[in-house]
Structure 1
Amino acid sequence: MELNDTLTAIAGLRVGHAEMLDAPTGCTVILMPQGVPAGVDVRGGAPGTYGTDTLNPLNLVDRVHGMFFTGGSGFGMSVGDGLRQYLRSEGVGFDSGHGRIPIVCGAVIFDLGLNHTGRYPDPVLALQACHNASSERVVEGCVGAGTGATVGKLFGIERAMKGGLGSSCIQAVAGLQVAALMVVNAFGDIRGTSQCELVAGCREDRDSLRLVDADREMHNLQWLRGFPEGQNTVVGVVATNAQMNKTQLTKVAQMAHDGLARTVAPAHTLYDGDTIFALSCGSLPAYEVTVIGALAAQATAHAILRAVTKARRYDHLPAAGDLP
């Protein structure tokens, strides 16, 4: 049996994908019907998020039951309705005294650069993803929310490459697990963990398989002309089997962004909606928050690299595996 080194190695989490048959877009759901503590950190300048105020440590509800990532930009937000509908049908949710209310959060990516059909992920697709959810190894690449993801858009979509969805899990001392799932739709290039190697990103021209260095090109640019905000993002979640509260998880989500900054260049731009959630799903005794945050950054970096290395070509956009 293949080792599960993805998010679902964390007991209590199920992941499901669904894609539209007639459009390059899709959604991914994460189910934790038992309810788990969660935190979030939003760093991008153009976020598209759902239910994140619930995760503020100052607020009442301390557990979430479902999470989603989806294409379709703002049009994809209705995936949250489908996820909540599914959880409600399962009798899952916060006991309000007047029935159970499933607590759901999520984030969107802008994949309209590839999807010109006018059709977007919706509650029906969300229900399909929920029914597909399992604790098996997460399927990676151009699936679910990563279906229409692209990277390296400094000079527009014509010179970009395919992004996707990736996941990773770190097994540490005394049974500690820290995992990540990332949907990579970045404005910037993707670098190896040494930060020296370009893995995917902006190409010299539409038909080229030679990469330019977006960081280096910034030396030659004063303005990024004709590039609307909000068309890019890396969104995802990190999770651990250690016991943590909302405040601690908020710090872990914050530290996980270090992994994003190691592998995406530039990261957290005005044009990105970079958002990372954090979940505590286990019963291990409390660990040092800094240790878990540091491991979350490593898992995030690994998941981002897997998202692009497992992606495949779409139309004229090559994937990392197509490069010489």
Structure 2
Amino acid sequence: MHDDITDIPGIRVGHDTNFEAATGCTVILCDMEATGGVDVRGSAPATRETDLLNPIHMVDEVHAILLTGGSAFGLNAAAGVMRYLEEHNKGIDTGVARVPIVPAAAIFDLAIGSAQVRPDAEAGYRASQQASSDPVEQGNIGAGTGATVGKLASPLLAMKGGLGSASTQLPDGTLVAALVIVNALGNIYDPQTQQIIAGTRDPLGSSTITPNPFSNTTIAVIATTATLTKAECTKVAQMAHDGMAQVIRPAHTMFDGDAIFALSVGTRDSQQARGALAAQRVTMIGAAAAETLARAIVKGVQHARTLHNVPAAQE
């Protein structure tokens, strides 16, 4: 066990990182068809293919999730992920072509490094090529490269955020894991001590600094070995937001685009629980997802390192 999302069989993670521009993208590839859901709580999201994950819509398989920097520009990296998957014969068979399903979400990292350099289709393709089941590198990597936290007063008073990942095994053997890009307007709190571990360096700010709130969003992927429906995945994603709210304060603001995807890689032909038993299982998985996401968020800032004069919590 790595204590990260690659503990889930069939999940591989790859990154493309640009330290000079302080941006990048991270791809979560599914070696088998996965069932997906999503829940968006922030009021400034940059997303792609989230409507498709609505339980009332037809397609119920996901082949990859893209988390990217570059704000809405960075969503172009999904084209490269699709190209990689098509080359590997992954996607929905439409009869004339296989169409890979790649939902995506982006953070705003244009205020650090270069605002003119963003992940593109080639970056998404390179990240897909690098995907592996090895332990996930955390901190300043992939979509977490330009992530920052604690910007309520001003981005100039922020600290470094980053990519974090964690996993949990339930008593019945079910695995639940999270991968998150921590790029919050709010501060990050240790859930045990309730002390700030990364955030605004000067809470009082300065009258000479003009706040720029458009530099936020925390995005995440939850994955589980349980066999879940689209509706159940959506509920797990919804419950996982509790973990975000536990350690990010404030969370889900008007200037955050907080979004969580959920993936089920369980065997589709396995016997599924129904009624109260199914509801109980989804509740347990959702609760574990929240706790695991909270740990992943803390790990993301703990592994971060100073970049472009934005200091890290652990330095």
Asked if these proteins are the same fold (TM beyond 0.5), I'd say: yes
Amino acid at match of 1:307: G
Q: Retained in 1: the 8 A contact 2:154–2:212?
A: no
Q: Retained in 2: the 8 A contact 1:230–1:273?
A: no
> Does 2:292 match 1:292?
no
4+ residue stretches of structure 1 with deviation over 6 A?
Answer: none
Deviation at 1:33, TM superposition (A): 3.8
Amino acid at match of 1:300: L
Deviation at 1:231, TM superposition (A): 2.1
Counting only pairs closer than 5 Å after superposition, residues 157-236 of structure 1 correspond to structure 2 as 157-194=155-192, 196-204=194-202, 212=203, 227=211, 230-236=214-220
1:5 to 3, 6, 13: 3
Deviation at 1:157, TM superposition (A): 1.4
Amino acid at match of 1:233: T
Deviation readout 1:256-307 (Å, 9 max, x if unpaired): 0000000000000001000000000124765611000000000110000000
Separation (CA, whole Å) in 2 of partners of 1:48 and 1:230: 12
Amino acid at match of 2:116: G
For these two proteins, the number of residue pairs brought into alignment is 303
The aligned residue for residue 20 of structure 1 is: 18
Q: Retained in 1: the 8 A contact 2:47–2:72?
A: no
Q: Retained in 2: the 8 A contact 1:13–1:31?
A: yes
The aligned residue for residue 132 of structure 2 is: 134
SS at match of 1:104: coil
The aligned residue for residue 79 of structure 1 is: 77
> Does 2:302 match 1:318?
no
SS at match of 1:124: helix
The aligned residue for residue 208 of structure 1 is: none
> Does 2:105 match 1:107?
yes
Separation (CA, whole Å) in 2 of partners of 1:112 and 1:63: 32
Amino acid at match of 1:268: H
The aligned residue for residue 90 of structure 1 is: 88
Amino acid at match of 2:91: G
Q: Retained in 1: the 8 A contact 2:48–2:75?
A: yes
Separation (CA, whole Å) in 1 of partners of 2:282 and 2:165: 21
Amino acid at match of 1:302: R
Q: Retained in 2: the 8 A contact 1:33–1:87?
A: no
In structure 1, list runs of 5 or more residues that go unmatched: 205-211
> Does 2:293 match 1:309?
no
2:60 to 34, 59, 62: 62
SS at match of 1:255: helix
> Aligned-pair RMSD on alpha carbons?
1.7
Closer/same/farther in 2, CA of residues 229 and 151 from structure 1, 3 Å limit = closer
Counting only pairs closer than 5 Å after superposition, residues 28-67 of structure 1 correspond to structure 2 as 28-67=26-65
The aligned residue for residue 258 of structure 2 is: 274
Amino acid at match of 2:29: L
Separation (CA, whole Å) in 1 of partners of 2:213 and 2:81: 28
Q: Retained in 2: the 8 A contact 1:182–1:235?
A: yes
Separation (CA, whole Å) in 1 of partners of 2:20 and 2:306: 17
Separation (CA, whole Å) in 2 of partners of 1:22 and 1:314: 9
Separation (CA, whole Å) in 1 of partners of 2:75 and 2:211: 23
Q: State, as a whole percentage, how many aligned pairs show the same letter.
A: 48
1:248 to 232, 245, 249: 232
TM-score (norm 2): 0.92
SS at match of 2:225: strand
TM-score (norm 1): 0.90
